[in-house]
Amino acid sequence: MTYVVTDNCIKCKYMDCVEVCPVDCFYEGENMLVIHPDECIDCGVCEPECPADAIKPDTEPGLEKWLEVNNDYASKWPNITSKKDAPADAKEFDGIEGKFEKYFSPEPGEGD
Ligand code: SF4
Ligand code: SF4
């Protein structure tokens, strides 16, 4: 198994998660992060740290799409290990439904 970053990270990107990951397996897109499923050691430390409740174990039902997104973009986006400021409008987007369809960006972030 692995943990995966899901819909509510998009445009929230609080980044509390990257600070706690013992194996630095977060990767940064323009408006969300993903976890590299092959690097994640399933420690679960990041899950409660996410203010947007966006990190889930892939053993939860219905997360196949997110496993694919995390796997796909972790190899395309740069590694990120230190927290940056969240977007100024992060709170406004917290909890909005269907963010992937509306706002997902395949563009890479800056990384560390
Ligand atoms: S803490 Fe949550 S919202 Fe913030 S970047 Fe990590 S997964 Fe995304
Ligand atoms: S579960 Fe552990 S290893 Fe996996 S991304 Fe979260 S903090 Fe990193």
Task: Determine the length of the chain.
Answer: 112
For each of the chain's 112 residues, which pLDDT tens digit applies? 999 999 999 999 999 999 999 999 999 999 999 999 999 999 999 999 999 999 999 999 999 999 999 999 999 999 999 999 999 999 999 999 999 999 999 999 999 9
Distance CA 108, CA 30 (A): 5
For residue 1, the model assigns a pLDDT of 92
Distance CA 25, CA 18 (A): 8
Establish whether residue 13 lines the binding site of ligand 1, counting it when its CB lies within 6 angstroms of any ligand atom.
Answer: yes
Q: What angle do CA 28, 104, 97 make, to 5 degrees?
A: 120
Task: Tell me if 66 is assigned to some domain.
Answer: yes
Calculate the alpha carbon distances from 64 to 20, 25, 89, 98 in Å. Answer: 25, 19, 29, 16
- Specify if 18 maps to a domain: yes
In a domain, 10, yes or no: yes
pLDDT at 17 (0 to 100): 97
- What is the domain extent for residue 20? 3-83
CATH number at residue 58: 3.30.70.20
Q: Which of 2, 3, 8, 17 to mutate to test the pocket of ligand 1 (most atoms within 8 A of CB)?
A: 17
User: Does 56 fall in a domain?
Assistant: yes
Q: What is the total count of domains within the chain?
A: 1
- Report yes or no on 7 lying in a domain: yes
pLDDT for res 30: 97
Return the closest-CA partner of residue 104 out of 71, 52, 69.
Answer: 69
Predicted TM-score (pTM) of the model is 0.96
Q: Is 21 in the pocket of ligand 1 (CB under 6 A)?
A: no
